[in-house]
Every structure is written in C-alpha cells, then in structure tokens.
Chain A
Amino acid sequence: MRSEDIAVSVRNVTKTYRLFAHPGDRIKQFLSFGIRRYHQSFNALSDVSLDIRKGETVGIIGPNGSGKSTLLQIICGILKPTSGTVQVNGRVSALLELGAGFNPEFTGRENVYFQGMLMGLGADVIDGRFVDIADFAGIGEFIDQPVRTYSSGMFLRLAFSVAVHVDPDILVVDEALAVGDPLFQKRCYARIKEMQQRGLTLVFVSHDHEIVRTLTNMTLLLGSGVSLYWGDSREATHRYRKILFEEEALRIAREHNGDDQPVMSGKPATSGEYGIGGATITGLRILAEGGEERSVFQPGERIHLEVSFSIDTPLDKLNVSVVIKTLQGWKLYSWGTLNQDIAIWAGRLDGEVFWDKTFEASDKPVVNLALDGNFGAGSYEVQAVISREMDRHFGSQQVLHWCDEIGTFRVEMNKREYFFGGICDLHGRATFDA
C-alpha cells in the first residue's frame, strides 16, 4: 500500500486519561514533577493501529465505553494520543455532535456562516454554497430566525446540512449519519453516497450493525480500548454480535445460577457462529411444500425450514428459531417455536408447547418451521438459532448456538403472471366501480 493512498494512518495509539479525585490534585501533580502520583490512570485506548485508504468507508463498532469516540476525537486531532502517532492526509470535517458551535441567539444564516468558517471555508465559498445548504436543510423562512426558535428536528437538519456541504476529504461522524424524518434521512444517505463517489473518506461510529454492514467494507471492532478485529465489515459485525450475546448470556447465567460461569460446552465458536453451547445446530434444509429440497421459490409458496440439531446436555425451555434477511442485512422476519408457544399460551392456537419439552443428551431432534414465502424477487439468507428462554416471553435469553447464513434461497417472479415490486407481498387487491 503506497503512503499517498492512505487517508488516515493510526499507529500504536494509546490514550491514557489521568483521573483526579480532587481538582487540587491536578495542581499537586503539576508541581510534583512526576515524583508522586496524585491520580489514577485509565486507558481509553491501548495500542490501536489502522490504515484507512483514500475513498474508503470505515465503520467503528464496539460496546459503550470501548473507546470509539476517543478514537474519532484522536483522528480529528481534538485529542492528542498519549503515545503513538496519527497521520491524516486531507481536510478533516468532524460531525461528533450535531450543532456543536451553534449559538442559539444567532440566526440560522449567521450560524451557517460561522460553522462554515469553523470548518475552514472562506466567506466567499460559503456565499456560493449557501443556497444549497439552506435548500438541503429545507427549513424555509426560519433560516433568518434565531436558532433558539427552531424545533430540534430543524436544528439537526441545518447542522447536518452544513456539515455535508463543506466537502471535506475525510468526514468523521459519531452516531449521526442520518437525522430527521425518513424523507430527510433518505436525502442524508443520498448525499453521503454522492460524496463517497467523489472520493470522500468516511469514518463513522454506529451502533446499527445493518448500516455498518451496508455502507462500509472495512470495520474496526473495539472492546475496552483494544482493537479486537480490523477488516471485513461482515466479519466484524458477526464478532460484535457474538460479544454482545456472550455478555448477555453471562448476565443471565449470573442471575439464574448465581455464578459467573455460563454452562459452557467448550466448543470454540468460529465466525458467523456462536453461542454458549449445550445444543448444536447440525443442518438446515429448505424444502418446498411437497418435501423436495429447493432453493428457488415463487412468491407466496410455502417454505419449510427444517432445522436439525443435537443435544449435548439435558435441556428444556428451548426455542428453535430462524431469521430471514435480505443480502443487505435487513431483517424481514424472525420466528420460532417460542413464538408459536406464546400463541398457544394465549389461546390463539392449539397444539403442543415446545418450550415444555425436555431433551436428553445425544437426542437429535428436527424442527420444521413452515412459513408463507410472501417475498419479492431477490435472494434471502437464513439464520438459525437455538436459545434457552428462561422467561416465557423472551425476557431472558441464552443463545446456545447461532448460525449466520446457514442457508440461502431465491424468490423469482414470472413477470407475465404475477408481479409486484418491493421485498414483501402485501396481497394487493383493487376494487372499482366502472
């Protein structure tokens, strides 16, 4: 990789905060010239390295307090790393908090000019872009009113509009890729796409896995200030979800068993697959109504998802479920045996409750989940999950085994017979007097 291709280079960055118990301790520390310590240290980031190529879009994910925002601030140059180096090629614009620097007493117009100057534009450049900025924000006459009279939505829209019209080389965004109503959000994404096409390097933090997966190709996963993974976004989001579930499982285990150890089978989880063990998904077959294995369906056809699994330790309170997603990662439907059990408990369905069943070690049960394939044309992926539900209504879940992309199927339409747009069939029916 040549150095001129690199937009941001972070090398072995460590950020240590000094925590003073009392404001006076800071002065004592200053005057003691390091002979005594009056503070505790806290590592917000430890030895993080990454190279971001020009034009690349990079996500940063991780649990709260994992150092995501600190890293963004260091990339922007707002914070200095305690050790390590950061090199940035190009003009950076930061969107760490929308409207930071806005003064409520001044009008929208005045704030736009001020904000533009903060981001390094001259007044003449802002003159040229002002109409675009005001149009994009779409707040009409309010542009000449003091910002304090704005609704919070208008405020955010104006702030966002300025930020995306500065035309930076590198845009750093914390949790605010899209704001406002759905229509405005759509414009936000369109604008970001447009900027990406013009070669923008985008670095952003988000808690939304799907946005990270769809917008980025590279993602950094942080945990407690340490870089856990840096690479393919799909892999990074898988691993992140795994961490979240392990944390949740640990919490539930603590609640129910009173100790820190979840029931572990010791099975090493690979990517796209995780869980605390106890049961293992061994396969998924996608079947048509007649029982034949198929991968292509017509809209509306009944699809049978047959999950087979093996039991490693005696278990009850199980839930076997599937998730159907588009390739972009949008979840279309998730449903499982517990969903059916809930309907039975509520008296809305008759049948046997799966949750009450007890399985013994070395059992190899098969569960068939049948659903109406009311999907539009496209490809879909299936995830299968076995979880132990301590609560009857999903209140307390331990994931025993989760498999991403264990199967895929495609839905095709005959345009001359039955046709609709979009990803789900709402069974439209037109009536008319003619």
Chain B
Amino acid sequence: MTHGVFRHRALLVQLVKRDVLLRYRGAMFGVLWIFLSPLLMLGIFAFVFGQIFQARWPHQPEGLPFWLMLYSGLIVFNVFSDAVSRSPGAVRSYPSYIKKIIFPVGLLPLVPVGTGLIHASFNLVILILALAWTGRLSLCIVLLPVLLVPVVLLAVGLSWFLAAWGVFIKDMNQIVPLFVQMSLFLSPVFYPISAVPTYLRPLYLYNPLGAVIEAYRAVILQLPLPLAEWLAALAFGGIACVLGYVFFEHSRDEFADAL
C-alpha cells in the first residue's frame, strides 16, 4: 500500500497541486483565497463567540480569546471534512482516468486529503500568528502537525472506503456531506469534552477527531497532552486506514465496469 503511494508520490503531489490551483484559478484574488477564507471565518467567530456569546472555555487563561480555542478545533475538523465530504466523487468524477488511461487509481481518494492538508497548513500559520499576537506562543506548537496524524489516517481510510462506494452508488454524494455536517456538531469543536455526558465520553476521547482536537487545545493551553487517548486514536486511525484500503482494492476491479 505505502509502496504504491510512495512510488507515485510525484504524481500525487501534481494531483494535489492541480486540485488546489484549479479551485482558485481564474478567481480575481487567486490563491490569496487560501488565506482569505479562514481569516473571514476567524473574524466571524471572533464576533459571534467573543462579542455576542461572550463564551469562555474551562482553564481558559486571560488574554487567550475563546475564538482561538474554537479555531484550533476547526482546523482539525476541516482536515477531516475537506477530505471526507469530497471523497464520494473522488473516483467517480474521473471516469477517463479509470477507463482510458493506465492510472494508479488508489491515488485519487488521497487528493482531497492532500488538499485538506494544504489548507490546514495555511490555517496553522494563521493560528500560530494569532497565538504570537496574544503572546502565548510556546515551542509546543511544533507538535501541531504531528498531532494531526490520527485524523489524517482516519480521513484517508474513510476516503478510500467512500470513494469506492461512491463509484457504485451515486447517492453517496448527497449522504456524505450531510453526515459530515452533522459530525461537526457531534465532535467537540464548539464545546469541550468535559461538557459531554459521562457515559458518552469514551466515544469522544478515543476517536481520532475528539482526541486530536483535545490534544490541540492542550498544546494551546500549555496543559499536559492526553497521550494515552491520542495513541489509542492513532491505532484507531491506522485500522480505519487499512480497512479502507482493503475495501478499495477489493472493489477497484469493478470500477471500470460500473462507470
């Protein structure tokens, strides 16, 4: 699996580059939108949660605005949602790649994940600048990219799985974005896990989204990392990744027939 992806890494880089460029090509502000859209979102959050709700986080120190906590969770969630909500079309929208050229099809579901990671890296830059501005920058921020791994694995696994389903069932294009939107509210982006009922808490703590979001906040608040939960999430993400790949490989022989 990794062998195939590694061998075609140059192609994957090209595919992701094309995917990112294509989104902004022809737009007046071009690639500037990569910065503009998170900044606009950030502005809205600052206004709604900071000014209107005047919300506060547990352990939230003075000088660290609420919206920054929220933004960090959103960065993690967006990696997941960027990839998963586009995955049902990842293979289906390229019939000529499946039927007309010799192509490592397994790369296609990785493209939305790659694009999501590009966006995340710009978001992280903004987050770090904002942290520096509030004066709460610590060396721990170098951990942020690494901490993302379980979510990336989960996203990759789900993308492979959903991309394969998407080839056979067109409805996936409608269903999946709906579920992704629901999961935004179900994952601890707008609230801390401590606010979740106790009996549901393990579900939050050990799944990659919950664990990574918690870890991000721990880094920002300079609290100890929830390492055990994070490792469990890493294992969980790894399993999802392998299962997704197995399913994808199992069904790819039929792609050309179904498209």
Asked whether, in the complex, the Cβ of B18 is within 8 Å of the Cβ of A101, the reply is no
Give the interface SS of chain B, mostly helix, strand, loop or mixed: helix
Q: Which residues of B contact A122 (CB under 8 A)?
A: 10
Interface string of B184-204 (1 = CB under 8 A from A): 000000000000000000000
* Contact partner, B100, options A100, A105, A110, A117, Cβ 8 Å: A100
Q: Report if A52 contacts B (CB, 8 A).
A: no
Q: Report if B136 contacts A (CB, 8 A).
A: no
Q: Report if B14 contacts A (CB, 8 A).
A: yes
Known: A96-B101, A100-B100; 16 extra A-B contacts, CB below 8 A, are A18-B257, A23-B169, A27-B168, A78-B100, A78-B101, A78-B256, A94-B102, A97-B100, A100-B101, A110-B18, A114-B14, A114-B18, A118-B11, A118-B103, A119-B102, A123-B10
Asked whether, in the complex, the Cβ of A92 is within 8 Å of the Cβ of B22, the reply is no
Asked whether, in the complex, the Cβ of B10 is within 8 Å of the Cβ of A106, the reply is no
Q: Which residues of A contact B22 (CB under 8 A)?
A: 103, 105-106
Asked whether, in the complex, the Cβ of B99 is within 8 Å of the Cβ of A26, the reply is no
Q: Which residues of B contact A94 (CB under 8 A)?
A: 100-102
The A77-117 residues at the B interface (CB cut-off 8 A) are 77-80, 92-94, 96-97, 100-101, 103, 105-106, 110, 113-114, 117
Q: Report if A394 contacts B (CB, 8 A).
A: no
Q: Which residues of B contact A110 (CB under 8 A)?
A: 18
Q: Report if A49 contacts B (CB, 8 A).
A: no
Q: Report if A73 contacts B (CB, 8 A).
A: yes
Chain A, Cβ-Cβ closest to B100: A100
Interface string of B78-101 (1 = CB under 8 A from A): 000000000000000000111111
Asked whether, in the complex, the Cβ of B11 is within 8 Å of the Cβ of A117, the reply is yes
Q: Report if A322 contacts B (CB, 8 A).
A: no
Classify chain B: how many residues form its interface, as a range: 20 to 34
CB distance from B170 to the nearest CB of A (A): 7
Q: Which residues of B contact A18 (CB under 8 A)?
A: 257
A78 to B256, CA, bound (A): 7
CB distance from A136 to the nearest CB of B (A): 20
Q: Which residues of B contact A17 (CB under 8 A)?
A: 257
A119 to B14, CA, bound (A): 13
Q: Which residues of A contact B258 (CB under 8 A)?
A: 26
Interface residues of A (CB under 8 A from B): 17-18, 23, 26-27, 73, 76-80, 92-94, 96-97, 100-101, 103, 105-106, 110, 113-114, 117-119, 122-123
A320 to B224, CA, bound (A): 98
CB distance from B251 to the nearest CB of A (A): 9
A97 to B22, CA, bound (A): 23
A18 to B99, CA, bound (A): 17
Asked whether, in the complex, the Cβ of B26 is within 8 Å of the Cβ of A105, the reply is yes
List 21 A-B pairs, Cβ < 8 Å.
Answer: A17-B257, A27-B169, A73-B99, A76-B102, A78-B99, A79-B256, A79-B257, A80-B253, A93-B102, A94-B100, A94-B101, A94-B102, A96-B100, A101-B96, A101-B103, A103-B18, A110-B18, A117-B11, A118-B11, A118-B101, A119-B102
A18 to B253, CA, bound (A): 13
Q: Which residues of A contact B102 (CB under 8 A)?
A: 76-78, 92-94, 118-119
CB distance from B5 to the nearest CB of A (A): 15
Shortest 7 CB-CB distances between A and B: which pairs?
A: A100-B100, A100-B96, A97-B100, A80-B253, A96-B100, A79-B256, A117-B11
Chain B, Cβ-Cβ closest to A80: B253
Q: Which residues of A contact B26 (CB under 8 A)?
A: 105
A129 to B90, CA, bound (A): 31
Q: Which residues of B contact A76 (CB under 8 A)?
A: 102
CB distance from B151 to the nearest CB of A (A): 29
A226 to B226, CA, bound (A): 64
CB distance from B130 to the nearest CB of A (A): 34
Q: Which residues of B contact A23 (CB under 8 A)?
A: 168-170
Asked whether, in the complex, the Cβ of A101 is within 8 Å of the Cβ of B257, the reply is no
Interface string of B246-259 (1 = CB under 8 A from A): 00000001001110
A79 to B259, CA, bound (A): 12
Asked whether, in the complex, the Cβ of B25 is within 8 Å of the Cβ of A105, the reply is yes
The B77-135 residues at the A interface (CB cut-off 8 A) are 96-103
Q: Given A18-B257, A23-B169, A27-B169, are A78 and B10 also a contact pair (CB < 8 Å)?
A: no
CB distance from B246 to the nearest CB of A (A): 15
A17 to B101, CA, bound (A): 20
CB distance from B249 to the nearest CB of A (A): 12
Q: Which residues of A contact B99 (CB under 8 A)?
A: 73, 78, 96
* Contact partner, A101, options B25, B101, B168, B169, Cβ 8 Å: B101
Asked whether, in the complex, the Cβ of B253 is within 8 Å of the Cβ of A101, the reply is no
A96 to B26, CA, bound (A): 31
CB distance from A352 to the nearest CB of B (A): 57
Asked whether, in the complex, the Cβ of A101 is within 8 Å of the Cβ of B256, the reply is no
* Contact partner, B10, options A79, A105, A117, Cβ 8 Å: A117
A146 to B14, CA, bound (A): 17
A93 to B102, CA, bound (A): 8
Asked whether, in the complex, the Cβ of A97 is within 8 Å of the Cβ of B96, the reply is yes
Q: Given A23-B168, A79-B256, A80-B253, are A101 and B14 also a contact pair (CB < 8 Å)?
A: no
A77 to B21, CA, bound (A): 30
CB distance from B16 to the nearest CB of A (A): 12
Chain A, Cβ-Cβ closest to B171: A23
A369 to B172, CA, bound (A): 69
CB distance from B111 to the nearest CB of A (A): 13
Q: Which residues of A contact B96 (CB under 8 A)?
A: 97, 100-101
